[in-house]
Amino acid sequence: MSKVIESVCDEWEELQEDYKQLEINNAAYLKKVEELTKLQDICRKHIAHQKYRLNIMQKNLKGISEDKNTKQMKENIMKREVELQYMEQSLPKKSDRYMLKLILGDIDVSFFTKENKFRYKEDYETFKLISHCVAFTFSLILYFYEFRPLEKFFMGFLVWYYCTISIRESILKVNGSRIKGWWRIHHLLSIVSSGLLLVWPYNEPWKLFRKHFINYTIYSAFIQYLQFKYQKGTLYRLKALGEMQNMDITAEGFHSWMWRGLTFLLPFLFIGYIFQLSNAIILFNLSYLPEASWEVTCLSLIFLTFFLGNSYTTLGVIPMKTKKNMLIRYKILRSKVYDAISETVMGSHRDDEVIVKESSKDS
């Protein structure tokens, strides 16, 4: 046998040993995946059972006059609901039917760790801010120079932006975000409105509406910056609070910070809604011009819907936020527990890694 063949044979023998270890590890991995899937199903069934029983208990409590025991029981049920919500978030979820399944197909879009969820949400907020900075720049240029190709490019950009955030919001929703249905509808309608602006021909009604629209996009970019500051602050504070010790103080502090942030933001939001109403009225008047195409009427209706939906939803947020929110306390508490669970899971995962590495070293 030539020396080359001999060394290749030796190498093969050595590789065989390594392969045997790989087979063992792979079998262990497959077993764990099987176990994991079974555990996920068991958890899902337990959660569904818990929810069903809690629902019945809540119905039974409804008719009873409120005393100390009833109050305590209601609080226990609420706390359990928050716990179940967090447990549900740790289980993989499938794409929602209407949005993601249609675009991405039937894939699992859930994040297992809280850290990944946090990062995704943070990235979503940053993406919105950057896109609005781009929109602000476009609007500013278009404010001073009327350049039709750039206008069309800007409308195309808006269609792309709203499509992207709608997909991202669906992923956030699947991962347990409490984003209200209206904001998602708002962004889907914004795809339609940007599409209509894109196909709107260059005519007299457009010339008359153009300036109003550009002013509106400049103001929207400014509001988006304020919203970004608020959302980012909430995100960071909740994360930091989850790591603190005294929960009562942290919940109180968070509540007063959030309330201050909101009262600062609200007047600016309502000015934006007035802008939307005035756009609707201007477009409605323009729709009577002989040159007006069907896009004008549609856009007028969409801006009116924005005004009504935004005002109604934002007004609805206020009473919810004025309550000394028990849910905030539980959210922080659960965040601590969730961190502890993740740490245990990651810790045992690291232990397994060490075992596997050591066993491969031994071989």
Largest CA distance in the chain: 95
CB 215 within 8 A of CB 135: no
361 touches ligand COA by CB under 6 A: no
CB of 233 to ligand COA, least distance (A): 10
- For 179, list phi and psi in degrees, rounded to 5: -55, 130
Q: Single out the segment in contact with ligand COA by CB under 6 A; choices: 39-47, 79-87, 97-105, 227-235.
A: 227-235
Which CB, 172 or 280, lies closer to ligand COA? 172
Q: Report if residue 277 touches ligand COA, rule: CB under 6 A.
A: no
> According to CB under 6 A, which residues from 149 to 178 bind ligand COA?
172, 177-178
Nearer to ligand COA, 275 or 292 (CB): 275
Q: What is the spatial distance between Cα 149 and Cα 62, in angstroms, rounded to a whole number? A: 62
Q: Considering beta carbons, is residue 190 or 292 the nearer one to ligand COA?
A: 190
Task: Round to whole Å and give the CA distance between 200 and 299.
Answer: 10
Closest contact distance (angstroms) between CB of 197 and ligand COA is 16
Which residue pairs from 276-282 have beta carbons closer than 8 angstroms and sit at least 24 positions apart in sequence?
Answer: 276/216, 276/303, 276/304, 276/306, 276/307, 276/310, 277/303, 277/304, 277/307, 278/212, 279/212, 279/213, 279/216, 279/303, 280/304, 280/306, 280/307, 282/208, 282/209, 282/212
Find the shortest distance in angstroms from Cβ 258 to ligand COA. Answer: 7
50 binds ligand COA (CB under 6 A): no
C-alpha gyration radius of the chain: 28
Please give the size of the binding site for ligand COA, defined by CB under 6 A.
20
Mask for 105-144, x = binds ligand COA (CB under 6 A): ----------------x-----------------------
Work out whether 85 is an interface residue with ligand COA (CB under 6 A). no
Answer yes or no whether residue 300 interacts with ligand COA by CB under 6 A: no
Question: HSE of 316 in the Cβ direction (CA atoms, 13 Å)?
Answer: 10
Residue found under tokens 């350049």: 147
Q: Using CB under 6 A, which of the segments 98-106, 108-116, 226-234, 336-344 binds ligand COA?
A: 226-234
Nearer to ligand COA by Cβ, of 114 and 121: the residue is 121
Q: Are 289 and 205 in contact (CB under 8 A)?
A: yes
Tell me whether residue 44 or residue 168 sits nearer to ligand COA (CB atom).
Answer: 168
Residue matched to tokens 């600062």: 264
Q: How far is the CB of 225 from ligand COA (least distance, A)?
A: 11
Shorter beta-carbon distance to ligand COA: residue 95 or 217: 217
In whole angstroms, the minimum distance from the beta carbon of 306 to ligand COA comes to: 7
User: Of residues 303-342, which lie at the interface with ligand COA (CB under 6 A)?
Assistant: 310, 314, 317
Closest distance to ligand COA from the beta carbon of 37 (Å): 27
Burial label for 354, CB within 10 Å (0-12, 13-18, 19+), is exposed
Least gap, CB of 223 to ligand COA (angstroms) = 5
**In this structure, what are the phi and psi dihedrals at residue 94, rounded to the nearest 5 degrees?**
-85, 160
Q: Check: CB of residue 179 under 8 Å from CB of residue 169.
A: yes
Which residue in 269, 277, 281, 341 binds ligand COA (CB under 6 A)?
Answer: 269
Task: Report the phi/psi class of residue 171: left, alpha or beta, with left for phi > 0 and alpha for psi in -120 to 50.
Answer: alpha
Site residues (CB under 6 A) for ligand COA?
Answer: 121, 172, 177-180, 183, 220, 223, 227, 230-231, 234, 262, 265, 269, 272, 310, 314, 317
